[in-house]
Structure 1
Amino acid sequence: MQSALRGLYTTTIPPNFYGFTNYYKNRALLNLRKFQTQSCKFSSNHEKQIVQGRAYLPPWFSVAPMMEWTDNHFRTLARIISKHAWLYTEMVVAETIVHQKDNLDRFLAFPAEQHPIVLQIGGSNIDNLSKATELASAYSYDEINLNCGCPSGKVAGHGCFGARLMLDPEFVGDAMSAIAASCSVPVSVKCRIGVDDHDSYEELCKFVDTIVSKSPTRHFIIHARKALLNGISPAANRRVPPLKYEYYYGLLRDFPEVQFTLNGGVNYIEQVNVAMNQGAHGVMVGRAAYNNPWSTLGYVDSVVYGVPSDPLSRRQVLEKYQIYADSVVGKDAPNRPNVRQLVKPLLNMFHSEPGNGLWKRKADAALRHCKTVKSFLEETIDALPNSVLDSQLSGNPPKWEGEFGNMDLLLPPKYAARTWGESKFHACVAVTT
C-alpha cells in the first residue's frame, strides 16, 4: 500500500453539498476530490479535505454497524486499538430518535475520541428520517448512513425498512434527499446486492443510479450478498446467499463518480489490502473486528493506512479502557452501564491465546460481584500469561491465502441505462477544471 500520507479525508460540507469522490491511479492510488452535485462545481483537493473542521484519513477501513455489538463501549475499545478506522454506530430507528428527543444522549451521545464516526439510522417514513437526522446533527457525526441491507424479519418484514427498501429505489432516493437536506455532512447507503429474486446486476445498478440521480448520495456500502426475506435468520443471511464480488467491482466500473465500500466475507486484514489493490475504494469488516479485535483492528493503522503507530500491548489497552469504563459505570443513575455491559467488548481480546479459557471462566465468576472494571481486571488478569499480556503485534499480519480472483474476467455486462450519466459528470469536470 502507498503511504497514507498521500491525502487526508475531511468533511466540512454545507447542506446539499456532498464532499467526497475518489479515484484510483493504477487501481490502488486514491485521489480525493470534492464534488458539488447541484451546481456541478468540481475542485481538486488532493492533500486535505475536511468534515466539520476535522481532518481524517479516508474510510479505507471501517467497522460495520452491528446491533447490540457496536455500542459506545466497543467503539471506545476499537478506537484505543486503531486511531484511523471509521466506526459505525448500531442502527438507531428514526422513530426512536424523534420520540425520544428529550432523552437523546442515551441513543446518540459518544466520546469525542470516537471520531471519525458514522451514525446509521433505519426507517421508512421520510418525515421521521428527516427529523431524526436534524436532531442527530447536534451530535456532530461525520456521516449519516441509511440502513437498506438488514434482512432481519423485525426490520425488513411487514413492509418496514432494511433490505426491503431496495425494492423501492425511488423512495430511497427521496429519503436520502431529505436526509441530506437535514444535515451538513456526507450521507451514505448500506445495502445488499439484491433481495430475493430481485438480484440481477441490472437491478442493483438501477437502485444505485436512482439514488444518485435523486439525492447527493455518493457513498454506498455494498454487502456483496443478496438478502433472503423468506424467513431465514440474519445469521444464515450472512452465509447462505453466495458472495458476488463481481457485482461490487462492476459498480466501480459503471459509476466512477461514486465511492463504494466493500462489505461481506472479509475476515482478515490482508483481505482488505488485496481488495483495495484490485481497486476497492474501502472495505468494511464486521464480526471479525468484534470477535478478534486485537488481531484485526491492531493492524489497521500500520497495514491499511501505512501510518507509523505507537504499538500498545494488550495490558496497555486494558488499562486505557478501564479508565474509560470506570468513569461511566453506573452509580444509581438511570441508563448508566453496569460492569457486565462494560466488560462485554473485552471478552474477545485474547482470542485463541493461552489462558483465554481460564480467563473467561474467572470473568464469569467475577462479573457476579465486581462493582468496577478495575476490580474485575484485578481479579481475573492473572489467568493470562505475561507473554500474552505484554507482547505487541508483529510487524506483519498472518498471510491470507485466498484471493478475489481476476475480476476483469468476471464482471457482469456494463450497465448502460444511466439516468445520471457518466458523460454528464465528466462534462462537469471539463467545464470547471
Structure 2
Amino acid sequence: MKPLKFPHRSHGDRLPSYNHYRTLARLISKHAWLYTEMITAETIVHQKDNLDRFLAYSPEQHPIVLQIGGSNLESLAKATELANEYHYDEINFNCGCPSSKVAGHGCFGVRLMLDPMFVGEAMSVIAANTDVPVTVKCRIGVDDHDSYNELCDFIYKVSSLSPTRHFIIHSRKALLNGISPAENRSIPPLKYEYFYGLLRDFPDLRFTINGGITCIGEVNAAIRAGAHGVMVGRAAYNNPWQTLGHVDSTIYGKPSSSLTRRQILGKYQVYGDSVLGKYGQKPNVRDVVKPLLHLFYSEPGNGLWKRKADTAFRHCTTIKSFFEETLRAIPDSVLDSPVGETPVGRDELFADINSLLPPPYEVREQELLYA
C-alpha cells in the first residue's frame, strides 16, 4: 500500500494506496483524499501505450492524487503531460521514499532532499505541464543532514523556486545506511516539533503531517495543534474499518456511509469479480482480496477468517466463491454492526508541542542565490 490523506476539513485526509485498496477505502469513506502508490516518471513514459494499467481508476475514487517519482526533468514533464488525460485532482512529487532501489540506485525519492535546487526545478516543470495543484512529500532530513535549519532550507528553496505551496512532511528523517523501508518507518525517532516549527516559520505555506499517527482521535489532535492536514498510511491499511469509518463524520462533518461490513463486501465483490484476469493472469483472487485481510482487525473470528482465506486462495476462482467459503468464520454481529465509537488515541501526542519547537528559522538569501 502507498498514501491516504486526512488534511484539514476544507481539503481532506490523505492515504497512499494501490487500486484495489483504494476501491475498498472509498466504499468506507467518501471524503478522504486517496494517493496512488509512487509511480516513476520513466514508467509512465515507457508505458505510454499501456497507461490504463498504471493510471486508470474508477471515477468514485475522487479526490485522488497521483504520486510520481524521478530525477529526469524531461521524463517528469512528459509523464505529467501523459497523466493529464486521467484527471487526477493533484500531483505529488515523492521526495521521501528511502528504499535502496529508489534513493540508492535510482537517485531519487528522499535523496532529492539533498538537492533542493533540482526539486524546485522539477516542481516548476511538473506545474508547467498540468492545471492541478502540485505538492511535495518529504522527510525531515537524510542521514546526518537532519537539522531543523537544513529542513527549512529545503522548504524555503523549493517554495521560492517553484509554485509549490503544500508539503507533506513525514516527521522522521531517513537513514540510507542499508536499513529497510519498514525500519525507516520506525527506527528514526519522530520529531513532530520540526513539523510544527514549519507551521510557525512558513505561515504562507500549507503542511500536512505524516508519521506515527494511528487513529482518528490522533488525527484530530494533530489538527487541533494546527496541522493543515494529516496523512495516515499504515493505520488505515492495517485497520481500515476503524480508521476510515470515522473520517467522513469526525474529520469532515459529513454523514458517514452507514454501510455495514457485509454491505461493503457485497459492493466489493461486484468490483472484484469485474476486474479478475483483466491483464491476463492478473489480478487474481489473492490480489483482489489482499486489502480485505485487515477488515476484521481484532474482531471475533478474524484469525479463523485468515486461515480460511489461505486455503481458499488455492482454489477459488471468483470473489463470490471466496466469500461463500470464508465469511462463515465471521459472526453476523460483526458483519452487520455499524462502525464503533471513535478511538481516542494518545491525547498527549501534541499536548506540549509548542514548548518543544526549535529556534525560529532565519532565511539566508545567499544560500538560495549560490547553492
On whether the aligned pair clears a TM of 0.5, the verdict is yes
Question: Which of 126, 129, 143 is residue 182 of structure 1 equivalent to?
Answer: 129
- 1:307 pairs with 2:254: yes
Question: Which of 66, 70, 76 is residue 23 of structure 2 equivalent to?
Answer: 76
Which whole-Å deviations, capped at 9, do the CAs of 1:253-277 have from their partners, x for residues lacking one?
1111111000001011100000100
Any idea what SS the aligned residue of 2:182 has? Answer: helix
2:285 alignment counterpart? 339
Structure 2 contact 242–339 (Cα < 8 Å) conserved: yes
- 1:359 pairs with 2:305: yes
Mapping 1:242-257, distance limit 5 Å = 242-257=189-204
Question: Which of 149, 162, 168 is residue 202 of structure 1 equivalent to?
Answer: 149
1:170 alignment counterpart? 117
Q: 1:112 to 1:414 in 2, by over 3 A?
A: same
Question: Which of 315, 320, 325 is residue 374 of structure 1 equivalent to?
Answer: 320
Structure 2 contact 248–255 (Cα < 8 Å) conserved: yes
CA distance in 2, matches of 1:338, 1:144: 29
Any idea what SS the aligned residue of 1:62 has? Answer: strand
Mapping 1:36-115, distance limit 5 Å = 58-63=10-15, 65=16, 70-115=17-62
Q: 1:251 to 1:379 in 2, by over 3 A?
A: same
- 1:218 pairs with 2:160: no
Any idea what SS the aligned residue of 2:280 has? Answer: coil
Q: Which runs of 4+ in 1 moved over 4 A?
A: none
Deviation at 1:368, TM superposition (A): 1.1
Write the letter of the residue equivalent to 1:387. Answer: S
CA distance in 2, matches of 1:243, 1:305: 27
Question: Which of 333, 349, 358 is residue 403 of structure 1 equivalent to?
Answer: 349
Write the letter of the residue equivalent to 2:31. Answer: H
Which whole-Å deviations, capped at 9, do the CAs of 1:326-372 have from their partners, x for residues lacking one?
111116x5374111110111111001111011111111111111111
CA distance in 1, matches of 2:81, 2:313: 39
Which whole-Å deviations, capped at 9, do the CAs of 1:1-29 have from their partners, x for residues lacking one?
xxxxxxxxxxxxxxxxxxxxx9xxxxxxx
Q: 1:335 to 1:124 in 2, by over 3 A?
A: farther
Deviation at 1:187, TM superposition (A): 0.3
CA distance in 1, matches of 2:142, 2:257: 44
Q: How many residues were matched structurally? A: 360
Higher helix share: 2
Question: Which of 268, 277, 283 is residue 330 of structure 1 equivalent to?
Answer: 277
CA distance in 2, matches of 1:234, 1:394: 32
Q: 1:230 to 1:100 in 2, by over 3 A?
A: same
1:386 alignment counterpart? 332
Structure 1 contact 106–335 (Cα < 8 Å) conserved: no
CA distance in 1, matches of 2:14, 2:88: 15
Deviation at 1:310, TM superposition (A): 3.4
Structure 2 contact 214–345 (Cα < 8 Å) conserved: no
Any idea what SS the aligned residue of 1:188 has? Answer: strand
Q: Percent identity?
A: 69
Which whole-Å deviations, capped at 9, do the CAs of 1:179-202 have from their partners, x for residues lacking one?
000111000000000001101111
Q: 1:119 to 1:355 in 2, by over 3 A?
A: same
Cα root mean square deviation, aligned = 1.6
- Structure-2-length-normalised TM-score: 0.94
Deviation at 1:394, TM superposition (A): 2.6
Q: 1:308 to 1:324 in 2, by over 3 A?
A: same
Deviation at 1:159, TM superposition (A): 6.0
